[in-house]
Amino acid sequence: MGKTAFQKIIDNHLVRVFPDGRMVLNLDWVWCHEITTPNAILDMTARGYDIVFNPNKVKTMIDHVNPAKDTASAIQGKIIREWSAKHGIEFLDVGRNGVCHAIIPEKGWINPGQIGIMGDSHTCTHGSFCAFTAGVGTTDLENGIITGLWICPPQKIIRVNFNGKLPVNVFAKDLILTFINKIGVKGATNAVLEFGGNIISEMSMEGRITIANMAVEAGATSGMMMADEKTIEYLWPALYQRYANTEHVLDNFMSWNSDPDAVYDQLIDIDVTNMAPVITNNYSPGDVVNVSALAGKKVDQVYIGSCTNGRLSDLRVAANIFDIVGNKISDSVRCIVVPATQHIYEMALNEGLIDIFVKAGCFVSGPTCGACLGLSCGVLAPGEVCVSTTNRNFPGRMGKDGMVHLTSPATAAFTAIHGIISEPPTNLCVIVVDRERDAPEFEATIPTNWKECEVKKLDYAQLLAGISKSANKNFSGRVFYLPIDNIDTDQIIPAKYLTEIRKEEFGKHCLEDAPILTEERIKLCQSQILIARENFGCGSSREHAPWALEGAGIKCIIASSFARIFENNMFANGLLCITLNKVLIDRLFEEKPDEIHINIKD
């Protein structure tokens, strides 16, 4: 029986397996940005473990707030900047950086067969290079930095085949949104999605990246694709100095691909032939309809960019529409364009794309996560509507009481021109135009020769001796009832507070943007146990969510299901997640006891 790519990679990195199936894995990469890493740095320093397992395998950057928007974000940047310099870690500062999940492959910091983690849920993106990459919380990130190890829960493997003929104006973003609608936002929890089929084989590397990027929106740990000539072509600027020719590297990379007789836990086949451009409806990446169903809805803002759709091909599609259909956006809308890296910005400038956007009336920003999570550069006012090429549309995601509709760059650009949600007509075939320009030899950055650092040996026995578990296993507490599905991390702690580095401050804003009344929030702060429904904690890998709940006094959450990263982050902070079936959860909501006693036996 053959093996999947995931199984081959695990076999090559496995240190040990715990009785419950959790795997200890050696890491090839630990990537860090300024939102989730400073707390890890402060914690390591406070514990006396300011150690980096291998400075050559840790890469750091500023990307979420770029450049700093206030003193708090400047402090975050200062912490990661100084720590990187102290340990000899390559750091991408303002002006030399980009959104993490665009610049990591651009720099060649991922190859097929590798494993990498980052304190960011969309780290699943790099599975598009036939690697196993995943988002983790700050505690797992910290452990990875110190030890070079990651404890991964057992994974199901789901094979997803996109076959057929891709219709006009249907793009990778339409495919992944359609898939999430089909499987649901928790349908792939604790699973690795392996995407294939003739559509994936024919798709550009940038299209594949878009699909893998949103695997987490279905609950998946990672989204993987098989390596081929396109994988090598994309990574070649970072590879050519190590390989004599592409044939040599192709044999190496393709050896990681799944075997033809590999066995999967689930097979999903999707025929794309009759698909149409799609868009999200309401506050979920899984609530997806054809663009035609929302056509005519007035919008206030269009956002083209992000780690999902801020690459050169995305900008080419949008610029092509502005160039052909109309060179001006509607007077009733504002359009923000954000190239995902400094290098992409430079190439877009060379091709004349930036000139097209500016003349169309768009605001063009340098690379930043910015508005995607409501931090800066395009935050919505209450009641405003944004059509966006980003990856999440949870309540309050881009601003409190704002509505975000996720879609492709083509639909976004066409909407910007008309000021209302608009589907590109089938008689307008939007293609990626490679415009004449004074092009560099390679359309990717040539990595700098970073000085490799000496790897220090760690005393693991002493390290483990300093780790203690603080979970409360026997206690009674008042109960706060939250009868809502899919409570996400942005509702638990709004992103506008993420520049805070004092953990104790997050509790003041816990569930601030959740649909609960002020008097109910007062009850929250008087409770120790929270009971919710399914898929609690979906969304970001940010450990700020458990910190906020802990700061509000919550010691335990009881629900019918939890998102993978959130559940792990809770236990990492000594907080309990208890999963009960829906029948028992319904009974608790019916009876509503004021107090519950928790007793967990070893």
User: What is the tens place of the pLDDT at every residue in 279-322?
Assistant: 999 999 999 999 999 999 999 999 999 999 999 999 999 999 99
Distance in angstroms (rounded) separating the CA atoms of residues 158 and 188: 8
Contact of 306 with 204, CB cutoff 8 Å:
no
What pLDDT score does 452 carry?
Answer: 62
For the chain, give the mean pLDDT. Answer: 92
- With CA atoms as reference, report the closest residue to 212 among 285, 132, 145: 132
User: Domain spanning 474-599 has what CATH number?
Assistant: 3.20.19.10
Q: For residue 458, what pLDDT is reported?
A: 58
Q: Which two tokens stand for residue 433?
A: 């135009």
Alpha carbons 579 and 325: distance in angstroms, whole number? 53
Per the CB < 8 A criterion, the answer to whether 208 and 195 are in contact is yes
Q: To 10 degrees, the CA torsion angle through 389, 394, 396, 401?
A: 90
If one counts every other C-beta atom within 10 angstroms of the C-beta of residue 260, the result is 6
Q: In the prediction, which pLDDT does 324 show?
A: 87
- At 241 the pLDDT is 79
> Domain 278-418 maps to which CATH number in 3.30.70.1140, 3.30.1130.10, 3.40.50.300, 3.30.499.10?
3.30.499.10
In CATH terms, are 5-271 and 474-599 the same topology? no
Task: Give the chain's radius of gyration (CA, Å).
Answer: 23
Tell me the three state secondary structure of residue 28.
Answer: coil
Alpha-carbon distance of 536 to 555, in angstroms, equals 15
pLDDT in tens, 7-40: 999 999 999 999 999 999 999 999 999 999 999 9
Q: Answer whether 404's CB lies under 8 Å from 324's CB.
A: no
Cα angle 290, 291, 294 (rounded to 5 degrees) comes to 105
Name the strands in the sheet holding 90-92, side by side, starting at the edge strand that comes first in the sequence.
90-92, 58-61, 29-33, 115-118, 132-135
Where do the domains of the chain lie?
5-271, 278-418, 474-599
pLDDT at residue number 442: 42
Residue 331: count of CB within 10 angstroms of its CB: 8
Enumerate long-range contacts of 574-582, CB under 8 Å, 24 or more apart: 574/469, 574/470, 574/471, 574/472, 575/471, 575/546, 575/549, 575/550, 576/471, 576/472, 576/600, 577/536, 582/533, 582/534
Which pLDDT does position 582 carry in this prediction?
95
Instruction: Give the right CATH number for 5-271 from 3.40.50.300, 3.40.720.10, 3.40.50.720, 3.30.499.10.
Output: 3.30.499.10
* Nearest Cα to Cα of residue 130 among 261, 231, 200, 10: 231
| Per-position DSSP letters for 30-71, written without gaps between them | EEEETTTHHHHHHHHHHHT----S-GGGEEEE--SSSS--SH
Residue whose C-alpha is closest to residue 78's, from 87, 69, 89, 68 = 68
pLDDT < 50 stretches in the chain: 434-444, 464-470
In the prediction, which pLDDT does 450 show?
58
For residue 67, whether the previous peptide bond is cis, meaning omega lies within 30 degrees of 0, is yes
**Res 448: pLDDT:** 53
What's the maximum distance between 2 C-alpha atoms anywhere in the chain?
71
